[in-house]
Chain A
Amino acid sequence: MDSGFMHQLLQQLINGLSLGSIYALIALGYTMIYGILKLINFAHGDIYMVGAYIGYVCTTIFHLPFLPSLLIAMAGSAVVGMIIERIAYRPMRNAPRIAILITAIGVSFFLENGMILLASPQPRTFSSEFSASVYHMGGLVINSQQIIILISTVVLMLALTYIVNRTKMGKAMRAVSFDADAARLMGINIDRVIGMTFALGSALAAAGGVLVGVYYNSIDPLMGMAPGIKAFVAAVLGGIGIIPGAMVGGIILGIVEALVSGFISSTFRDAAAFAILILILLYKPQGLFGKNVREKV
């Protein structure tokens, strides 16, 4: 009995880790955009969906191999992200933040319903040549795609950390995030930096979309809604604007969901995820990795 419990616990942790790395992948982009614009980009989950569709078109219609498709999807979504920023967010930069939030919701509706018109609401499936091999290890089951997703998330997170901390563009991003006006005075082209941030964030979301599309083998125009909200929760959980925070937040969220589904009931899975978020916020309002910022008087 006891070993059965341990066994199930371990399997649930594996399940949670793989689910969580997906949330983390989306949360990375969320947290970057928030860090620089203080904007909750509700359309981020839908960019993840757009990425999945571009990947679908590449693999299923043009029969491209996996890696080129992934890169095209990332590039395509980066362009979509930059266009959205240019048209819908840039003119609003000095508007009240809540107005930009409404615009973001509008963009999200637009992408969802546009895709319904364009591609019909029926789910689409990736071609089965990408199917996974399954490993059994002492009764535990792991799927090769789960491992790929986890590794991709870690690699992308490291790449992102490198870009933000070590490159010139990253320095500019941090400067804009710290004080946009001062950055402008120092000769930083703010529009370009913000555009790049959107491009990077959207490319990450697209990578998530394609990986998930292949993993679950099913994509539809509304697939970004729930993960989008969850990823945002993950980003806040880890401390919004902090890159490793998004990663940790995503994985905690995934594990909590798996454990609640496994040991309590899957109907309370989402409620538990939100409840944990609220509890953490109440005791550590800046998120797990957030620095305590003293309010200026």
Chain B
Amino acid sequence: MNSLVKADIRKLGIAAVLFAAIYGMLETEIIGAFWELNLVLIMINIILATSLNMINGYTGQFSIGHAGFFAIGAYMGAIMTVKLGYDMPVALIVGTISAGIVGFLVGLPTLRLNGDYLAIATLGLGEIIRICILNIEYVGGASGLMGIPRLTTFPMAFWIMVAILFFIKNFKNSAYGRACLAIRENEIAADTMGIDTTRYKVMAFTLGASFAGTAGVLFSHYFFIAHPASFTFMRSFDILTMVVLGGLGSMTGSVTGAIVLTFISAALSDFPEWRMLIYSVAMIVLMLYRPQGLFGDKELSLQMIRSLKMGGKKNDD
């Protein structure tokens, strides 16, 4: 137990150093405004990818409707600040909880389905959420909810991301997380072992949805607008791609996937016509060469680097 806490403190320390380094570069304008924006986007994508990984990677439930929960967070948060005049913390809490509630209500009936049937059902639910938003004039309908102040800052996004990453990491190592992993490996076996599979599936789904809601609040308060076109099934595909690219079931993989894809997309903005084409080829090629994702279901850790080093040494000889 003690060593676990120690490891956590060490990781927190690494996060603090990383934060200081990036924040320093931002303050001294070594990193310009464009990359600052993309850094925040990376943080948001990391939250989205790791939270989807809880559902798809840990619990093995194939969900492709994550954009719907992202949208609920974005809109609920914006309603709090723009329409009702509350502060950002209230927006964050309301956005998170309301996405969680919708996730719970949606998950309870649909998680009885499995495989591709669940996939298409979640895709449909994500679209239903978006179409409903499109028809609510109170939040601007097709024009989107405009005039949202930029309340998301880099430190806020960073530390919220770190908190969520810690939560997810500890969730995986908890009894709940192990139950989820058991469901992923073999649902029937898990059921026979006395695991209440519905409960854990809905739990993972609800938690994943609420974190997507948190990301939504950060997103709409950074980009000035919440617009239905930002939450189509293409967004869900994007998030899914990050998770699979990093390695399904690996949290550090999802983090890497989010960083790599956001970075590719930003770096390609100098080639506007070719951007999506190159992006799609990169997707196909990465999958062809690493179908299990960059990390498989392993976590990137100091041990892993160490073992890589052993491998490297052998090659040197």
Chain A interface (Cβ < 8 Å from any Cβ of B) = 34, 38, 40, 88, 91-92, 95-96, 98-103, 105-110, 112-114, 117, 229, 232-233, 236, 240, 267-268, 270-271, 274-275, 277-278, 281-282, 285, 295, 297
Contacts and interface: CB of A to CB of B under 8 A. Distances in A.
A107 B287 CA distance: 11
A289 to B, nearest CB: 14
Contact of A110 (B128, B241, B245, B284): B284
A99 B287 contact: yes
A92 B119 contact: no
B15 interface: no
Contacts of B132: 271
Interface of B: 56, 62, 109-110, 112-113, 116-117, 119-121, 123-125, 127-128, 131-132, 134-135, 188, 233, 237, 240-241, 244-245, 248, 273-274, 276-277, 279-281, 283-284, 287-288, 291-293
Contacts of B287: 92, 95, 99-100, 102-103, 106
**Chain A interface mostly helix, strand, loop or mixed?**
helix
A275 B127 CA distance: 10
A203 to B, nearest CB: 23
Nearest to A109: B280
Contacts of A240: 116
Contacts of A270: 127, 131
B244 A278 contact: no
Contact of B273 (A34, A117, A274, A297): A117
Contact of B128 (A101, A108, A275): A275
A98 B125 contact: no
Contacts of A108: 280
Contact of B284 (A88, A95, A278): A88
Contacts of B188: 295, 297
Nearest to A290: B117
Contacts of B292: 95-96, 99
Nearest to B129: A271
- Specify which of B62, B123, B188, B284 lies most central, judged by the most chain A CB atoms within 10 Å of its CB: B284
Nearest to B273: A117
A52 B245 CA distance: 32
A113 B113 contact: no
